[in-house]
Amino acid sequence: MSVFTFIADSIVEQVDQYKKQGDQCERVIEQIRTGMNPLQAGGWKGQGANSYFQEILTRVIPQIAELIAAIAGFGGNMGKALNIMMNADKMVSGVVNQIADAFDSIF
């Protein structure tokens, strides 16, 4: 039995959760852009409107995009780490099984 089997499912669930959170952040960006369309189409004019649009486009959306990248990177790295652990566990299990088989053949 794999040493890491008991945590693998939990890690996979967590990676899936990070993906869902990244997807949710992407939907937020889309909602912000959609909500801005009527305002940019003339629903709000003037210096305040221009400042608001500039703030959203140059600060808010890029920061959310950075958050998405961080979430995706962390989730991806967790998945890579799990693969490394599972491969190492398979290698160790193989060696242990070979040793056990050798002892079984002796005794």
The 3-state DSSP class for residue 59 equals helix
pLDDT-derived band at 1 (thresholds 50, 70, 90) equals low
pLDDT tens digits, residue range 74-97? 988 988 988 898 888 888 888 888
The boundaries of the domain holding residue 101 are 7-106
pLDDT tens digits, residue range 13-63? 988 998 899 999 999 999 999 999 999 999 999 999 999 999 999 999 999
- CATH number for 19: 1.10.287.1060
Confidence (pTM): 0.70
Rounded Cα distance, 13 and 57, in Å? 33
Is residue 56 in some structural domain?
yes
**What's the domain count of the chain?**
1
Do 2 and 89 meet the contact criterion of CB atoms below 8 Å apart? yes
Is residue 17 in some structural domain?
yes
Is residue 30 in some structural domain?
yes
Is residue 2 in some structural domain?
no
Q: Is the pLDDT of residue 6 over 70?
A: no
Give the pLDDT score at 85.
85
Do 8 and 83 meet the contact criterion of CB atoms below 8 Å apart? no
